Amino acid sequence: MFVIKCPYCGERDQTEFSCHGESHIARPENPNEVGDVEWGKYLFFRSNPKGMHYERWTHDHGCRRWFNVQRHTVTDKIMQTYKMGQPKPKGIND
């Protein structure tokens, strides 16, 4: 069970949070102008890396805010957490 640092509340147990998959997948600006392949990528395709992963979490039993987590999928080490809207950090071991 992780300890996760909510950018708004600080360190809390993982039981207070839930994970919502890969982050930095923007909804296409104008969906109507997007072809089926690209739309399909937005809907279904995720990177699933062995290594650094950027993912969305919510502090459900806390401030209910969404934020980003940079986590190593092999060690489960959380490198950092950062607020929504902030750019994807340049990973050290990306």
Residue ranges that bind other proteins, judged by CB under 8 A: 1-3, 13, 20, 26-28, 30-32, 34, 36, 39-40, 42-43, 56, 58, 64-66, 75-77, 84-85
Contacts by 86-92 with C-beta closer than 8 Å and gap 24+?
88/23, 88/24, 88/54, 91/52
Q: Tokens in use for 76? A: 């489960």
Residue closer to other proteins, measured from CB, 58 or 81: 58
The pattern of x and - marking residues 47 through 66 that bind Zn ion according to CB under 5 A reads ------------x--xx---
Which one of Zn ion, other proteins, none interacts with residue 46, CB within 5 to 8 A by kind? none
Q: Tokens in use for 8? A: 């708004």
> Which amino acid is located at 28 in the chain?
P
